[in-house]
A and B are shown apart, each in its own frame.
Chain A
Amino acid sequence: GENVEQHPSTLSVQEGDSAVIKCTYSDSASNYFPWYKQELGKRPQLIIDIRSNVGEKKDQRIAVTLNKTAKHFSLHITETQPEDSAVYFCAASMNYGGSQGNLIFGKGTKLSVKP
């Protein structure tokens, strides 16, 4: 089955710097790659996603890139702010019988942004 690896497990940056989180996946049939932000005790919130027919997607300070050949995708956060501090999860999924199947998650990256 699909396996998603995520690095680093912890990341500390200064406010205003950029942060990059990387994930790899194993199953070439995966075609959807969302990123979730989870604050302590809260629900995972979808912040950006990308499909396999797109190489890059940007939304204000957040961008995601996908390399299908290498089976890896990355989250880029620019001009980080203290409120970006949270745990970030990457995930992958594939079509399942005419709909989209379950998400396979990475183990998460704890991002700390120091003022």
Chain B
Amino acid sequence: DQQVKQNSPSLSVQEGRISILNCDYTNSMFDYFLWYKKYPAEGPTFLISISSIKDKNEDGRFTVFLNKSAKHLSLHIVPSQPGDSAVYFCAASDPGTYKYIFGTGTRLKVLA
């Protein structure tokens, strides 16, 4: 049972345009959502997060939107840069168990 899903395994975007990465979840008890960036053979790097009591959080070029009624979150990267090319994981945390459940990742390729 995949509680956190990233249905797009890959995404290609032109440099300077917007990248939108999507994530869906099933457990309404999740209270915190995070996005990580990962390069091959390295540990994931934290990008941005959002609490379940908010619907938007912004940090520089990165914005995360949360739609609780749809159990959906998205990460917007504007403008996209070639250095943003990596695999992006969304994650959700369960406050009752302190578990963090990750999606399967979306590989973003930003074309110069």
Q: Are A and B subunits of one complex?
A: no
Q: Which A residues lie at the B interface, using CB under 8 A? A: none
